[in-house]
Chains A and B, each alone.
Chain A
Amino acid sequence: MAALSPLRLRHWQGPGLWAGALALFAAFALWGRDLAPWAFDWPRKAVLPVRRPISDAVKWLMNHADLGLFTFREATRAIAAAVEFPYRLVLALLSEGGQAAGLAVPALPWVTVVGAAALLGWRAGGAGLAALVAACFGFVALFGQWDAAMVTLASVLIAVPLGVAGGLLLGVAAWRWRWLDRALVPVLDLMQTIPVFAYLVPILILFGFGPTAAVVATVIYALPPMARVTTLALARMPAETHDLGRMIGCTRRQMTWRVMVPSARDGLMVGVNQVIMLSLNMVIIASMIGAGGLGFEVLGALRRLDFGAGLEAGLAIVVLAVAMDRLSQAFAAGRGGGRLGPGLWLLAGVTLAALMLPALRDYPDGWRLSTGPFWSDVMRWINVTFHDSLEAVKDAALLGVLVPVKRFLLGLPWLGVAGLLALAGWRLGGWRLATLAGGLAVLIAATGLWEQAMITVYLCGLSVAVAMLIGLPIGILAAERDGLWQVVRLMIDTAQTLPSFVYLMPAVMLFRVGDFTAMLAIVAFAVAPAIRYTALGLRGVDPRLIEAGRAMGCTRWQILTRIKLRMALPEILLGLNQTIMFALSMLVITALVGTRDLGQEVYVALTKADAGRGLVAGLCVAFIAIIADRLIQAGAARARARLGLLP
């Protein structure tokens, strides 16, 4: 290569390079197995010994680590106590009543909780919101989910303030100290791409099984976006606001807490909303380490394959999510609603009356409704009636597409894949990206999890392909028609507030366990960003360009294919990126339906409380996510630069 003149090298950088590389790759994949078996299966002896040390490290932390003044165990105990106390208090108030830290706390009557939620809605957004929030809580009571819902609400009410405060402090610190920002970004990247299951294990070991561990896990899961949003919101404040603070002689503390943070309130509320939604999304996973509540109900129903019960508990999570989402958004918009005065008195009166009359304290059993048996019957009927056609669909998909793709990917040599990734990285973003993409791929192979990783890639890749095939046309259609866009946007907004488990249930009911079921659930979960980014990208195309196209006599089709799709390419690529991230996060959850990928590895580690195994497999998932993310981001940046668009 060194002998090639620059001119010929440039020629080599075009399509010729890729054709050559792919031919080499194919030849190696076909005939290289005998030549270099180590390039296909990472030698067992050379597997990086990382699992055991991680497990040992966690154990050591727990049993022997001494931080000078106190031991690590004492530190986790202190954190646990700090979380435990408010949690017990809130839980006692919301559902059980009883003793919390020596205080006798009466359980609030259910009408008080509904009334208080409605009053919040009234304060934030007026009568409409109050009615919506009351309806959401009424729904929960009506379907007999009240007690479970209050357990869930208690843990969310503790986790959200902790997540918001922690994220805010971290974000502000990162804004004030550049070095911290630089150190934090990769950590946050990893926290957001590593599957939750992976860090459930160490948390389980450190905090034990129970609501405290669940709250800690929820906070860790929900905090990164808040930190990011905070740093971003502060950095985006106009320079004049900062100048103003200095000009009137603010100290650094006044500058941060009196000028910058309050001024950035609108941006920060987006983060608060994210924390709430992620906390609710975590409800079911958290129930695996003892959160109880609605998540536990859903998980139990899923394990029993009791569709009806799972649906009702799942819907209860959804309505809680909807209520909290709308409430936080209304507070963020800050338009304000009605005055609290009279409502508060009314609520106090009702509460007092309900405390006196035990009959009013709990939701009457007679008013309960359960549609569970009905849904179970519907499911049974569908399964009986359409059994053959459902099976036929499943088999056709499995035999025609899933299995061949899986076999193909499993047959590829890791060395070749890493090489191709490095090549793509080099073409898209230079040597640093090449090193990152190739290096992470080799690292995955070195952990001895290459096979599981390739199954992950296969499931994720197919699901993303299907999601894009569905999402692109819908996005294109929705972008062209305003009315349709309103409907579609409402649907994908709602879809994104649903916890990911909700998507798993119907798929399991119809197709039982297996890769096809997992794929369906992943597609259903990941299609929303594909639609959103496509539609937003197309709608964001400069109208002057479209006008110019029309003036030249382009047909609608030509305008779409020659102008809009090309200009919207960067956005669509970002949509692809988001779709992949969504698919990967869902993939781990589908481990519950018996896939054999990295997610399963993490899940097994969780059930065996093997911290090293879980973290290593979790990091592999994160590596796959990071490789995909960096390559696509670089591609989008190149496309934008070529189109002369601003970043």
Chain B
Amino acid sequence: MPRPKPEPKLVCRNVWKIFGPHGAAALDRLGHGVSAERLAALGLVPAVRAVDLEIGEGEIFVIMGLSGSGKSTLVRCLSRLVEPTAGEIIFHGQNLLAASESEMIRLRRHTMGMVFQHFALLPHMTVVQNVAFPLEVQGQPRDQREATARRMIALVGLAGREQALPRQLSGGQQQRVGIARSLAADPELWFLDEPFSALDPLIRREMQDEFLRLQSVLKKTIVFITHDFDEAIRLADRIAIMKDGAVVQVGTPEQIVLSPATDYVREFTRAVPRAKVVRAGSVMAPVAGHAAEAGAGRDGPCIPARSTVAEAAPLFAAGAEAVAVTDAEGRISGHLHRQAVIELMLAG
């Protein structure tokens, strides 16, 4: 069963970013239905086109696209690092595009954190100074900010390396520092711009697990950028897929894999085994009414509805015909049958 739709925390309405001279004027003149080709003919680059998004409180929202799809520009528009050409970005009921520069500085200091693809650590500072730097900029006294920084460093598992310089750390460790720094000011919005793309595949997987662990504790509202579809479906509550500056589909990983909106999206989903995406809750045979509430049939193996079919599959190895599926409160809400699992896995 899909989770209840979370409250939107950050809303984008019809956001445009056009690079090139007089982009705003061209957009006004040609209207919002203008094609990318038409703009390109004018020497303009439409990096973000008419994007509408609603990102819920506590949600991991992944924006996925290949290089040049505008995903990095879009995430920079959300924090106004890049000034959008048109549109609205609403955060706490306030349109960020109307905020003054000093207001933006206040918002970035206290409500936003960002992790960068190439870490962006300051080379002349130690780990603890790097992590404390956002607080230093706010003018916090030294002992207070360094205490916070040490807590964050411990949180990302780097305790003991506080006095190291960035160049003495491995790539994975450097990004842990970047993550700790982005969390130092306890932001509500957490932007991660391809945080694991520069890392080796094994480290990348380890960092993804670490990220999920952190989020289970922190419950931030996350915008996560990636070009890696596997990473997207592994981490996301919801995914937006971008192509040529426009969002082509928004949905849960399951929705996107099972019903891709366009051929472009289908290309990505082709190599993804359905069993790794489809959740047990989606293919189980539901228990009628509230019969199972008392916990009948608890003797056999059971799995949460949120886990994927691939995760449930090993439970059938012992020869069980069905596995109980529990909902968020631990009540049995249905049964996953061997036949359903096999069918799904054979479908690829």
Q: Which residues of A contact B (CB under 8 A)?
A: 238, 240-241, 243-244, 246-251, 254, 258-259, 262-263, 265-266
Contact = CB atoms under 8 A, between A and B. Distances in A.
Contacts of A258: 133, 136-137
9 contacts: A238-B120, A243-B76, A243-B114, A247-B108, A248-B137, A249-B110, A249-B134, A262-B122, A266-B123
Nearest to B119: A240
B338 interface: no
Contact of A247 (B112, B117, B136): B112
A336 to B, nearest CB: 11
B109 interface: yes
Contact of A244 (B107, B109, B114, B123): B114
B122 A259 contact: yes
Interface residues of B, number: 28
B137 A246 contact: no
B190 to A, nearest CB: 11
Contact of B137 (A238, A240, A254): A254
By secondary structure, the A interface counts as helix
Given A254-B137, A262-B124, A265-B123, A246 B81 contact: yes
A244 B116 CA distance: 8
B122 A249 contact: no
Contact of B120 (A244, A262, A265): A244
Contacts of A243: 76, 81, 114, 116, 120
A278 B333 CA distance: 80
A401 B123 CA distance: 56
Contacts of A246: 81, 108
A263 B119 CA distance: 13
A266 B166 CA distance: 15
A250 B107 CA distance: 11
Contacts, number: 58
Contact of A240 (B79, B110, B118, B134): B118
Given A258-B137, A263-B124, A249 B108 contact: yes
A494 to B, nearest CB: 30
9 tightest Cβ-Cβ pairs between the two chains A and B:
A249-B109, A248-B134, A240-B120, A249-B108, A244-B120, A247-B114, A240-B116, A249-B105, A262-B124
By secondary structure, the B interface counts as mixed
Contacts of B185: 248
A263 B117 CA distance: 17
A241 B123 CA distance: 11
Interface of B: 76, 79, 81, 105-110, 112-114, 116-120, 122-125, 133-134, 136-138, 185, 191
Contacts of A265: 123-124
Which of A238, A247, A258, A266 has the most B CB atoms < 10 Å from its CB? A247
A130 B107 CA distance: 51
A247 B119 CA distance: 13
Contacts of A250: 105, 137
A512 to B, nearest CB: 54
Contacts of B125: 262
Contacts of A244: 114, 116, 120
A185 B123 CA distance: 29
A248 B123 CA distance: 17
Contacts of B117: 240
Contacts of A263: 122-124
Given A240-B120, A247-B79, A247-B191, 17 more contacts: A238-B120, A240-B118, A243-B76, A243-B114, A244-B116, A244-B120, A247-B113, A249-B134, A249-B138, A250-B137, A254-B137, A258-B137, A262-B125, A263-B122, A263-B123, A265-B123, A266-B123
A272 to B, nearest CB: 15
A436 B205 CA distance: 59
A183 B106 CA distance: 35
A241 B178 CA distance: 12
B111 to A, nearest CB: 10
Which of B108, B114, B122 has the most A CB atoms < 10 Å from its CB? B122
Contacts of B114: 243-244, 247
Nearest to B133: A248
Contacts of B123: 263, 265-266
Contacts of B109: 248-249
Contact of A238 (B105, B118, B133, B136): B118
Contacts of A249: 105-110, 134, 137-138
B96 to A, nearest CB: 13
A248 B79 CA distance: 11
A250 B120 CA distance: 15
Nearest to B107: A249
Nearest to B110: A249
Contact of A248 (B108, B119, B191): B108
A244 B76 CA distance: 11
